[in-house]
Amino acid sequence: MTVTPEDDFAQWYQDIVQKAQLAENGPVRGTMVVRPYAWRIWELMQGFLDEMFKETGHENAYFPLLIPQSYITREADHIEGFAPELWTVTQGGGKDLEEPAVIRPTSETVIGEMMSKWIQTHRDLPLLLNQWANVMRWERRPRLFLRTSEFNWQEGHTAHVDKADAMEETLRMLDVYETFAVRDMAVPVVKGEKTPSERFPGAENTYTIEGMMRDGKALQSGTSHYLGTKFAEAFDITYQSRENQRELCHTTSWGVSTRLIGAVIMAHGDAKGLVLPPRIASHQVVFVPVMAHKAPEVADEADRLAKELKAAGVRAHVDHRDQKPGFKFNDWELKGVPLRIEIGPRDLEAGVVTIAQRLGHDDEQGNPIKDAVPTGELVAHVTDRLVAYHDFLLQRALDFREANTKQVDNWDDFVAQVKTGWASVLYDGTEETEQKIKEATSATPRCIPSDFPAEDGACFVTGAPSAFGKRVIFGRSY
RNA sequence: CGGCGUGUGGCCUAGCUUGGUAAGGCGCCUCGUUUGGGACGAGGAGAUCGCUGGUUCGAAUCCAGUCACGCCGACCA
């Protein structure tokens, strides 16, 4: 790495993405090629999320990439929000299509259409679906992982008998996202509701988890929407109730995307490169054999120990490349591997291996402290160490966020605070005020945090009575 | 989409002002020596200079257009 995050965060981010071989631009503007090292991270993320989706009763299905253009226009707010972002297919087989098809920007419409066919009675509810898919939205200013024209995600779509049930689902899935962010990505998030101006097009309520990146900006990391009966009305999603009445379903949708990889990069990375939290690290442990060309038993021992670790459920990798150890140390640090194990003749002699941790276990010069661990204790040591390392990363991120979040009650403090972090404020909740704040500082309301205490007062901008009954977090965002 | 900037082997850059047929570093290949914090030597491969057109005897260089990328803004789950 030649640029530090402090020097130039945007450049640093791009360097990591390129040098750690995570992704690059595809040949069509705004598209992204995800390289194997990053796709593995996504697979691990998918694994944890999919398990939780299933535990909460959801089933995976798959719906078409192409949606009849007319579907998109059926819900007024939805089309208004997505019209500028649509990619449209007008030809097939060299002929103009009778009706152009849009490439899904999200699938509420096509899934709503199917739901209306599948749901007859209250006994069919709730209908709990999820799909893993790619979607496309025209983006004027693409950034790898954070905002690309095509991206991969999951989108959950559910239908319920009433508002209470749908709202419970909306908040349940928001909790799932929070659990995932904290437990698997070591990224603390603020959970809360979006203000009306930031709502998903077509939603009654939008909820979000917001993570703080190491430049103090917010990244919206997952959203969950209560859609009310808007899509049910547009797609005729109805059921017959116990009372033999025709009722509209209340629907929800919720999603997270490969943007989460961007969150991990920016929430944990440092001047040496990527820092991967162990639960989603492509390799949790990498062995670097030393002097293997002269002492073949070194490589054999590394292979044997890696096998032992794999049997214990640890993702271990042996770096057999023909490079000097120093090169490999730097390379794996750049790639964010949690633990590196050096093994050479000296270690073999002593019956130990030498372990270095990517972050948080350094001497005064900032060099990693290397610990000798007896070979027989390796599996237990690594297993414990990975858990402790996760906790360390989470705490570090939490400390950073707290150090960069302040309650402010006047304009000057606000302007200063959102330059480097988040401000929690009382404001009047109007779009005019939000606009004024945005124009002056480029900060926007991130969310109304669920766990903030009730509080009322005067808007720090206009002096009018504050809205939402509590403080709202403002910050610059991606 | 607006403003600014940048496009030269895989990567980073020099050359452009003053036109004459592309240079260096890193990386890559081969061989040898090396291996506990980014090795060294020797030999080698690799670019019609983003693209299109124009001016010219001749264009990386001048002109026009266009595409892509970056930053800021607008817009945006």
Q: What is the per-residue pLDDT for A140?
A: 83
Domain identity same for A302 and A231: no
Confidence at residue A81, expressed as pLDDT on a 0 to 100 scale = 87
Dist. CA A275–CA A203, nearest whole Å? 36
CA of A23 to C1' of B47 (A): 25
Q: How far is CA A424 from CA A140, A443, A445, A449, in A?
A: 30, 12, 9, 10
Q: Residue A253: what are its φ and ψ, rounded to 5°? A: -150, 155
On whether both A69 and A212 belong to a single domain, the answer is: yes
Please report, for the domain that includes residue A297, its CATH number.
Answer: 3.40.50.800
Nucleotide nearest to A206 (CA to C1'): B77
Q: Give the model's pLDDT for residue A80.
A: 87
CA distance A447 to A174: 13
Q: Are residues A154 and A225 in the same domain?
A: yes
A223 and A317 housed in the same domain: no
The domain boundary residue, chosen from A392, A421, A438: A392
A25 CA from B9 C1′ (Å): 20
What is the spatial distance, in angstroms and rounded to an integer, between the CA atom of A19 and the C1' atom of B46?
22
CATH at residue A411? 3.30.110.30
pLDDT tens-place string over residues A181-214? 999 999 999 999 999 999 999 999 999 999 999 9
Mean pLDDT of chain A: 95
Say if residue A2's pLDDT is above 80.
Answer: no
Final residue of a domain: which of A216, A241, A268? A268
Q: Is residue A203 part of a domain?
A: yes
> What tens digit of pLDDT does each residue of A50-88 get?
999 999 999 999 999 999 999 999 998 888 888 888 999
pLDDT of A4 above 90 = no
Q: With 80 as the cut, is the pLDDT of residue A1 above it?
A: no
Is A238 inside any structural domain? yes
Query: The domain containing residue A375 runs over which residues?
Result: 283-392
Determine the nucleotide nearest to A352 by Cα–C1' distance. B36
- Environment class of A159 (CB within 10 Å of its CB; exposed 0-12, middle 13-18, buried 19+): buried
Q: Are A371 and A436 in the same domain? A: no
Percentage of residues of chain A with pLDDT beyond 90: 88
Provide the CA A346 to C1' B27 distance, Å, integer.
32
pLDDT band of residue A94 (cuts 50, 70, 90) is confident
Percent of chain A with pLDDT over 70: 100
**Do A14 and A63 share a domain, yes or no?**
yes
Position A278 in a domain? no
Question: Residue A66 contacts by C-beta under 8 Å, 6 or more apart in sequence?
Answer: A89, A101, A102, A103, A104
Whether A314 maps to a domain, the answer reads yes
* Average pLDDT over every residue of A220-225: 96
Residue A435: which nucleotide is closest by CA–C1'?
Answer: B74
Count of domains forming chain A: 3
Same domain, A242 and A362: no
From the CA of A287 to the C1' of B30: give the distance in Å.
29
Of A53-57, A270-274, A306-310, A363-367, where does mean pLDDT reach its minimum?
A363-367
Instruction: Name the nucleotide nearest A11; use CA and C1'.
Output: B70
Q: Measuring from the CA of residue A293 to each C1' atom, give the nucleotide at the shortest distance.
A: B35
Boundary residue ending a domain (A371, A392, A413):
A392
- Cα–Cα dist A158/A342, whole Å: 50
A27 band by pLDDT with thresholds 50, 70 and 90: confident
Same domain, A234 and A324: no
Do both A451 and A332 map to the same domain? no
A198 and A318 co-located in one domain: no
A4 belongs to a structural domain: no
Q: Which nucleotides of B are covered by protein (CB under 7 A)?
A: 1, 34-39, 67-77
Q: How far is the CA of A258 from the C1' of B60 (A)?
A: 40
- The amino acid present at A338, given as its one-letter code, is P
Q: Do A422 and A347 belong to one domain?
A: no
Whether A275 is in a domain gets the answer no
Domain check: are A120 and A75 in the same one? yes
User: Rounded to the nearest 10 degrees, what angle do helices A431-441 and A411-420 cross at?
Assistant: 60
